[in-house]
Amino acid sequence: MTQMMKAAVLHALKTPLSIEQVPIPEPGHGDILIKVTACGVCHSDLHAVEGDWTPPPVIPLIPGHEVAGKVAKIGPGVTGFKLGDEVGVPWMYSSCGQCEFCLAGMETICKQGEATGYTKPGGYAEYMVAPAAFVGRLPAGTDPYAMAPILCAGVTTYRGLKRTGARPGQWVVILGIGGLGHIAVQYAKAMGLRVAAVDVSPEKLELAKSLGAEVTVNGAEGDAVAAIQEKIGGAHAAVVTAVASKAFEQAILMLRPAGTVAYIGLPGGKSDEIRTSISAITNWELTIRGSNVGTRLDLNEAVAFAANGVVKAKIRTAALEDINGIFDDMRKGKIVGRVVLKFS
């Protein structure tokens, strides 16, 4: 008899997920089956549900790409894992391993890459399958609920900060203090950077301050660019995780000469465009870089910070059945930190 599991499934874009019994997947060659302990709810999952991005997700879809769990079954050809090992599954489900980007250690931009919870079933389920070669190893005994957000929010902001090239002692402005941003503040502090935080919610700015941001600016009140230029003389670096195109425009103008901004947020849809000043970029030699999740090496490093307790996601746990309400809260910007689905 086929063994069944509980999962949250998207059957059509812009509709609620339905909680269903579906077959437990079988690990194929090179795969492991993971019993999911925790899965963070990333805004990318909401973008998937809303169909904000092109191409849209593969439907029916089980979303979820901030997975912490344990190895439950090992597929043929897998070495180096044993039952019960603590593992994590990130957005990067797989890459081809052969193209110029994979060969250069830039597997996150492989054009043949698959995405967990977007093109492949993800972690809003009691079990999921993932290729062993792309699964992250979590140190035994770490808190799986606090660790789950590191699999996307953590690794992504860690890489984004590195891609700005900011050095200890320099200023970084982080725009958007949501699930990603509040973790970005912590990585930035751990890297010795000075942090300015911008959000449109006073509660989120309070959180940023409690995590070590020296300067906070409410982007909904007054001129946020002028405030940053005035308070810190412009930032050496910026990281944008906000889900609003305006923040991407502002970030460029918040830089000092020679500054670099890393774009992480993906508002998508009608908000996928910005207007900017060519002369500001040219005259001040500014750099704008994209940053797409993180490589397997980035993941190992990002996990190490969290395992050492230097970076810790602020979480609230919830049941899988709560997912549609969590998405509503996310649409309204009401989530402070990260919500993590808890499986028994």
CB of 308 to ligand NAD, least distance (A): 23
Options 18-26, 34-42, 303-311, 312-320: segment touching Zn ion (CB under 5 A): 34-42
Question: 163, 291 in Cβ contact below 8 A?
Answer: yes
**Residues 150, 93: Cα–Cα separation, whole Å:** 15
**Residues 312, 333: Cα–Cα separation, whole Å:** 21
Q: Does 44 interact with Zn ion (rule: CB under 5 A)?
A: yes
**Residues 299, 39: Cα–Cα separation, whole Å:** 16
Helix, strand, coil shares of the chain, percent, nearest 5, are 30, 25, 40
Give the residue with the Cβ less far from ligand NAD, 44 or 170.
Answer: 44
Give the residue with the Cβ less far from ligand NAD, 30 or 271.
Answer: 271
Q: Among ligand NAD, Zn ion, none, what does residue 110 contact (CB within 5–8 Å per kind)?
A: Zn ion
Q: Could you list the residues that contact ligand NAD (CB under 6 A)?
A: 42-44, 47, 152, 156, 175-181, 198-201, 204, 219, 241-244, 246-247, 264-267, 291-293, 330, 333, 335
**Residues 289, 295: Cα–Cα separation, whole Å:** 16
Give the residue with the Cβ less far from ligand NAD, 156 or 186.
Answer: 156
Question: 66, 151 in Cβ contact below 8 A?
Answer: yes
Grouping H, G, I as helix, E, B as strand and the rest as coil, residue 39 is strand
Question: 217, 228 in Cβ contact below 8 A?
Answer: yes
Q: Among ligand NAD, Zn ion, none, what does residue 176 contact (CB within 5–8 Å per kind)?
A: ligand NAD
Give the residue with the Cβ less far from Zn ion, 155 or 261.
Answer: 155
Q: Among ligand NAD, Zn ion, none, what does residue 199 contact (CB within 5–8 Å per kind)?
A: ligand NAD
Q: Among ligand NAD, Zn ion, none, what does residue 61 contact (CB within 5–8 Å per kind)?
A: none
Give the residue with the Cβ less far from ligand NAD, 62 or 183.
Answer: 183
Question: 171, 196 in Cβ contact below 8 A?
Answer: yes
**Residues 16, 131: Cα–Cα separation, whole Å:** 28
What is the residue whose two structure tokens read 């746990």? Answer: 317
Q: What residues numbered 87-106 form the site for Zn ion, per CB under 5 A?
A: 95-96, 99, 102
Give the residue with the Cβ less far from Zn ion, 17 or 255.
Answer: 17
Grouping H, G, I as helix, E, B as strand and the rest as coil, residue 23 is strand
Question: 45, 65 in Cβ contact below 8 A?
Answer: yes
Q: Does 42 interact with Zn ion (rule: CB under 5 A)?
A: yes
Options 35-43, 73-81, 244-252, 253-261: segment touching Zn ion (CB under 5 A): 35-43
**Residues 317, 340: Cα–Cα separation, whole Å:** 5
CB of 340 to ligand NAD, least distance (A): 12
Amino acid at 286: L
CB of 96 to Zn ion, least distance (A): 3
Q: Among ligand NAD, Zn ion, none, what does residue 102 contact (CB within 5–8 Å per kind)?
A: Zn ion
Question: 22, 31 in Cβ contact below 8 A?
Answer: no
Give contact residues for Zn ion (rule: CB under 5 A).
Answer: 42, 44, 95-96, 99, 102, 110, 152
